[in-house]
């Protein structure tokens, strides 16, 4: 939980729980008396610090998925590239997938390091108007495993939001891990003062993915995050040579279209599979500039324009 102190025991109920300071897990904890008194239920002062730090960031958008492997980080990267294609906009991409940071590789930034300045951590820049921050920049090797419990991951997310010197930014895109766990609760809590414009949710057509996405949508409703819309990724395969379309992941239950109709959510678009997307990500280049006329690149651009027409401030 996001309200678990960094020095808490393994089964800490959290400072906002009615069992704070009273459960068996609290015995011997240095925070037991404070929690039992109710003083620990006060708002985390970091929330106000983050609000002040992010006053220079106009819009904050989360990219979520219920299941891993649906292309969420790939979409986050290319959404950032698409927004940054407007030279008048300043874009920032924050990778909070603490245990699986893939953004440095996708953005061509492997081996880069974060530098400290008088105003905080300086992000790494892909372009003059596209800044990136990831725990991947803090690891000595891309193969290093981050084996952390929840409180330490939450502390790192807090540090990213409070200590990174983004400067004046139009859009902060937050790439999250799959699921609805510690990292998601931390982001929601720490941005509660600064505000979240909304979430873009990524799925693939098959029902096994849609089941998890429904949980993600329910999470957004519970924590009051507006859902900008859903994107169906890997939606068919368009052969780069013959242009024929094949369904690699058949939408056996109607795919994202049917789900969005049932839940009264907008389907922002479908992005087809294209092997050149994977190659571009492996090589750290933008697929949108490598193959701008491909069906997948056109789909990305259309999604950004649809968001604009919906007045969600994505372009």
The pLDDT assigned to 310 comes to 64
66 is in an annotated binding site: yes
315 residues of the chain, pLDDT tens digit each: 446 655 556 667 766 677 777 777 777 776 777 677 765 556 788 999 999 999 999 999 999 998 888 999 999 999 999 999 999 999 999 999 998 899 999 999 998 988 887 788 999 999 999 999 999 999 888 888 888 887 889 899 999 999 999 999 999 999 999 988 888 989 999 999 999 999 999 999 999 999 999 999 999 999 999 999 999 999 988 777 777 778 888 888 999 999 999 999 999 999 999 889 999 999 999 999 999 998 899 999 999 888 766 645 544
The pLDDT assigned to 143 comes to 86
220 is in an annotated binding site: no
- For 46-313, CATH number out of 3.40.50.2000, 3.40.50.2300, 3.30.2130.10, 3.40.50.300 equals 3.40.50.300
Q: Are strands 57-64 and 91-95 parallel, antiparallel or unpaired?
A: unpaired
99 is in an annotated binding site: no
195 is in an annotated binding site: no
67 is in an annotated binding site: yes
Q: Assess contact for 203 and 66: CB atoms under 8 A.
A: yes
The pLDDT assigned to 76 comes to 95
108 is in an annotated binding site: no
Q: What is the DSSP letter of 313?
A: S
Q: Assess contact for 151 and 183: CB atoms under 8 A.
A: no
The pLDDT assigned to 315 comes to 44
Domain ranges of the chain: 1-42, 46-313
Q: Assess contact for 97 and 73: CB atoms under 8 A.
A: yes
Gap between the Cα atoms of 283 and 206, Å rounded: 28
69 is in an annotated binding site: yes
The pLDDT assigned to 2 comes to 45
105 is in an annotated binding site: no
The pLDDT assigned to 305 comes to 82
Nearest to 173 by CA among 75, 42, 263, 289: 75
29 is in an annotated binding site: yes
């Amino acid at each position: 939980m996001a309200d678990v102190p960094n020095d808490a025991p393994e089964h800490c109920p959290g400072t906002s729980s009615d069992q704070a300071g009273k459960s068996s897990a609290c015995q011997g904890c240095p925070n037991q008396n404070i929690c039992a008194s109710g003083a620990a239920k006060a708002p985390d002062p970091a929330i106000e610090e983050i609000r002040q730090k992010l006053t220079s960031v106009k819009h904050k958008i989360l990219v979520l998925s219920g299941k891993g492997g649906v292309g969420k980080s790939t979409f986050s990267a290319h959404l950032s590239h698409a927004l940054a294609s407007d030279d008048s906009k300043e874009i920032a991409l924050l990778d909070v997938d603490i245990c699986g940071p893939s953004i440095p590789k996708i953005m061509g930034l492997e081996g880069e390091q974060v530098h400290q300045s008088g105003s905080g951590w300086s992000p790494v820049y892909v372009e003059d108007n596209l800044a990136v921050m990831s725990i991947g920049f803090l690891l000595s090797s891309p193969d290093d495993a981050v084996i952390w419990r929840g409180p330490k991951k939450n502390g790192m997310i807090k540090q990213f939001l409070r200590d990174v010197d983004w400067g004046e930014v139009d859009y902060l895109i937050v790439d999250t891990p799959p699921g609805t766990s510690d990292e998601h609760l931390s982001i929601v809590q720490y941005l509660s003062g600064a505000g979240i414009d909304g979430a873009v949710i990524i799925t693939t057509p098959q029902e096994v993915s849609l089941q998890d996405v429904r949980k993600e949508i329910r999470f957004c409703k519970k924590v009051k995050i507006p859902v900008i819309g859903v994107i169906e990724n890997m939606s068919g395969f368009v052969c780069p040579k013959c242009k024929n379309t094949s369904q690699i992941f058949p939408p056996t239950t109607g795919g994202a279209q049917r789900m969005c109709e049932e839940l009264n959510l907008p389907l922002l678009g479908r992005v087809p599979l294209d092997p050149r997307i994977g190659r571009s990500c492996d090589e750290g280049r933008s697929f949108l500039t490598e193959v701008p006329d491909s069906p997948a690149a056109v789909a990305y651009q259309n999604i950004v324009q649809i968001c604009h027409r919906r007045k969600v401030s994505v372009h």
